[in-house]
Structure 1
Amino acid sequence: MFSDYRQRLVNELKEELEAAVNISCEDLASQIRSIGFTCSMCGKCCRRSCGDNRVFLTSSDIRSLQDCSLDDAVIPMLPDMPDMPDVSFADALHEYARELEVDSQGRYHTFGWMLKRKANGNCSFIGEDGSNRCGIYGSRPMLCGTYPFYIECGKLLTSECEGLGKPISDEDAVLLAKGLLDRYVTELKDTVLLYEKFEANDGSSPNIPSSKSSSDVDEVIFVVHDHNGNSEFAIKLNQ
């Protein structure tokens, strides 16, 4: 049953969405020009050693990656696991599983999808030759294309980035503003659908540790809750 609380959340999101479509792209571009931004190609936003570099994917991002035959780059949203070179993915997942809900079947429940990362935590598509070039630049996710800017509750905000404060052209500011608005609206629509289609698992209970060691488990099953409803996703271990 769709709870009253969830209905209130949906109604609030729809109100925010209605306000979002009325945000002026010109005003947003003006704010961006005032702040200033030029990417320095430092690659810090793509590397785990510089902080949480998880890239949350919108429904539009997922379609774009699948159209480019990069659907294997899409994985369930995971807790931010730092670079642990001497620890297997299975053990790292077990360590951070307290941040996820595990049901009676041993399936991990999570919300949404993220871009796959390398074993060292860096983005799977950043060049390791020193150039820091993106291997999927033309199909990069909305978050990447609009970083370090984001919109929250209708307000323009920024993440930490050494490129802030540098000059930006009028044309680039407008393109960035359009990308930000598209991302903001898409994220709101996705979240509304998530709440509307969410189905709780009756047999779930939080923070149930696995009774098996990582060497005894071949794969981990995730139940991903997103704009499409619920779906299962398996991650192979010990390969």
Structure 2
Amino acid sequence: MQSLEAELERARALDVSELADAVETIGFECTRCGACCKSEADDPHTATVFPDEVRRLQEAAAAGESVGDTPSEGDAQDSVIGEDDTRDWRDVARPMPYGLVDGDEGPEGETFEWALQTDACGDCAFYREDDSGVGACSVHADRPLICETYPFSVDVGGTSQPMGEAVDAEGIVRAHECEGLGRDIDRADAESLAAALKERAVREVEEAIGVRDAYDPVSTDPGEVVVHDSEGAKRPDGSRTDD
């Protein structure tokens, strides 16, 4: 397996035009079905979010911004971020469940990523549907890179293990299950998506390097969860364990 540094070098060397070629070849148009935002088979929605992306959503809330593109004027499409609303870390993100175990007092242990927060149904907390079932992200303008680039990912080897069928000759760009695949996409949109794909690939490896370098094992008490990200060990509320 190549080193993270070699993986980062490969990610930074990705050619956006070539990525766009692959995206354009397979084609994509969002149908607003919401499948990528909902729980599946009783498994809660899990979308990785970087620490700075969590803070960006918090800042949007603190500023009273109505962020996001909505498909209708219906009440169901109101932004989750209101004029007088405030959001703390736990309103935006939760510990990624992978690596945690069920203890007597709930999930416990250590994990290495944050996931977007979910609602009581296990769907992304920022997903909304109108009366006709058309879905939208209520924080669309500030959505994480993983959401911006779905249903595509880039495999640069090493720690990146994206699922899905490879759609370019070298198997770098991969497409994941989505009913919007195969639809026409214009070149400008393909290039925009490709640029976001490259940024995500770079950010994922940089985060992995940061987690590796900042990792310091901690002892967890029953019912306690610790998330190790590139900024250090944190509690579920986003506060550092060494504070």
**What is the TM-score when the length of structure 1 is the normalising length?**
0.72
Answer yes or no: is 1:39 the counterpart of 2:24.
no
Say if 2:92 is the partner of 1:73: yes
- Given the alignment, which residue of 13, 16, 39 partners 2:7? 16
1:148 aligned residue (142, 151, 154): 151
Contact 1:221–1:234 (8 Å) recurs in 2 = no
Q: How does 1:1-239 map to 2 (within 5 A)?
A: 12-49=3-40, 53-69=45-61, 70=87, 71=89, 72-79=91-98, 93-94=102-103, 102=108, 108-129=109-130, 130-153=133-156, 155-201=172-218, 203=219, 220-233=223-236
Aligned-pair identity in percent equals: 32
- Are the equivalent residues in 2 in contact too, given 1:59–1:190 (CA < 8 A)? no
**Whole-Å separation in 1 of the counterparts to 2:126 and 2:58:** 15
**Structure-1 separation of matches of 2:102 and 2:31:** 33
Query: Larger % of helix: which?
Result: 1
Gaps of 5+ in 1: 1-8, 82-91, 103-107, 211-219
Alignment root-mean-square deviation, CA: 2.8
Render the CA deviation track for 1:110-138: whole Å, top value 9, x for unaligned. 11211000111111111143221111111
Rg larger for: 1
3-state secondary structure, aligned to 1:34: helix
Unmatched tracts of structure 2, length 5 or more: 62-86, 158-171, 239-243
Displacement of 1:13 after TM fit?
0.7
> Taking structure 2 as the reference length, what is the TM-score of the superposition?
0.71
Counterpart secondary structure, 2:3? helix
In the alignment of these two chains, the number of paired residues is 194
Displacement of 1:80 in angstroms is: 10
